[in-house]
Structure formats: structure tokens, C-alpha cells
Amino acid sequence: GGQEGGESENPKTYFHEENLVMTTRDLFIAGMETTSTTLRWAILLMMKFPEFQQKVHEEIDQVIGTDRHPRLEDRKAMPFTDAVIHETQRFGNIVPLNLPHATTADTNFRGYFIPKVIAIMIIIIIRIAFLTASYGFRKRDAFMPFSAGRRACAGESLAKAELFLFFSTLMQRFRFQPPPGVTDLPLTAIVGITSSPTPYKLCAVLR
């Protein structure tokens, strides 16, 4: 951006150093932990349910093969992998309490008076299935890991692209399995602002 309207000349501008630093920080916090936590859930679930891992491998071999990297366009032809990623996001439910939202002023909404206070919204993710009987992918409106409305996740499409590309690239190259002797793979979550899997070890075996 130009210097015009910058910090020094216009005290009301939002373009100042603190805002730039905080916005950049937001992108790192909102964008990295979320995607990597989802991938940690995905790999854990693949180890827990090897028959599903097998089906993902088969779909990747059929649609992408081994000679090239996965591309975003491949997703359309990969309903099973798409459903696995959606199911991972549903099961992992990694931002279980959404983010707190606050009214900045006393507000009247559809007959309700909402004073100037913090109101916390809670996402409820219900039980839904993403596969049809014939293994087609089915979109579900109740799937809302990115929340909804004006303040929904700003990185939703980036996150979806990352999840598909990282997950299918990892699965193209590796079979994930627990280390020798490990038979118990707990799916217990550690809940903070994000909900993440209990730390686990894995073997990534080249396919």
C-alpha cells in the first residue's frame, strides 16, 4: 500500500503497525494449528481404521497414480477421500466452542434485547454421514467446522485445499501404522481452544 492514509498522517486509519503485526499473527495462529491438528486426526483415524486407509489408497492409485502430485481438480473424482476428510473434520471437531463473539453495543435482534456483553456461540455438530450407499460423496448442511455467517472462518477455502492436497499427498506416498507392539490407539481429545488428538507415534511406511 501507499504511504497515503498511513499511520503518521491519519490517526483514524486501521493501517498501522500494530494492526499489521496482529493480523499476521492471526493468520499464523488461525491457519497453522488448525490444519495440522486436522491432519493429525486424519492420520490417527487412518491407523485406527486400516480398511478405510486401504480404500483411500485404492482411490488415489486409481485417480492419481504415482507419477504425479495430487491436484485440486482430483478431488471431484475422489468421493471416498473427500468423505474421509469431512468425517475427520466432523469427528475431530477441532474448534468445539467456536470463537467468542461480543456485541459492541446494546442490540435489538428479532425482538430480543442483547446488551453490550460477551456472548459465546457454540457449534453443535450432529451425527451425519458423507457417503451414499454407492460411495458417492454427499454434502451436508449440518457440516459447519468453519462456523457460519459474517465471521465464519476467513481461511475456509484455503484450509479445504490444504487438507485435500496434504492428506492425499501423504497417503499417496505412505501407509500409516502404529509402531510395533502398539495396539491401543485412543481417540481421546485434548481440549483447549482447539481440540487435538492425544500425542501418538506412528510408522510412515513408503508404499
The single residue among 38, 81, 88, 168 that binds ligand HEM, judged by CB under 6 A, is 38
Closer Cβ to ligand HEM, 62 or 103, answer by number? 103
Closest separation between CB of residue 46 and ligand HEM, Å? 17
Closer Cβ to ligand HEM, 96 or 178, answer by number? 96
Q: Which residue is nearest to ligand HEM (CB)?
A: 155
For the segment 151-180, give every residue that binds ligand HEM (CB under 6 A).
151-155, 158-159
The CA–CA distances, whole Å, from 82 to 21, 31, 150, 166 equal 35, 20, 26, 12
If you search the block for the grid coordinates 510395533, which residue do you land on? 180
Which residues touch 154 (CB under 8 Å, ≥6 apart)?
A: 30
Amino acid type, 41:
W
User: Are the CB atoms for 1 and 23 separated by under 8 Å?
Assistant: no
94 binds ligand HEM (CB under 6 A): yes
Pairing outcome for strands 101-102 and 107-109: unpaired
31 binds ligand HEM (CB under 6 A): yes
Q: How many CA atoms lie within 13 A of 99 on its CB side?
A: 14
Closest separation between CB of residue 32 and ligand HEM, Å? 8
With CB under 6 A as the contact rule, which of the stretches 9-17, 29-37, 61-69, 73-81 interacts with ligand HEM?
A: 29-37
With CB under 6 A as the contact rule, which of the stretches 44-52, 66-74, 145-153, 182-190 interacts with ligand HEM?
A: 145-153
DSSP string for 52-113: HHHHHHHHHHHHT-SSS---GGGGGG-HHHHHHHHHHHHHH-SSTT---EE-SS-EEETTEE
Binding-site residue set: 153
Q: Which residues bind ligand HEM (CB under 6 A)?
A: 26-27, 30-31, 34-35, 38, 94-95, 98-99, 145-147, 151-155, 158-159
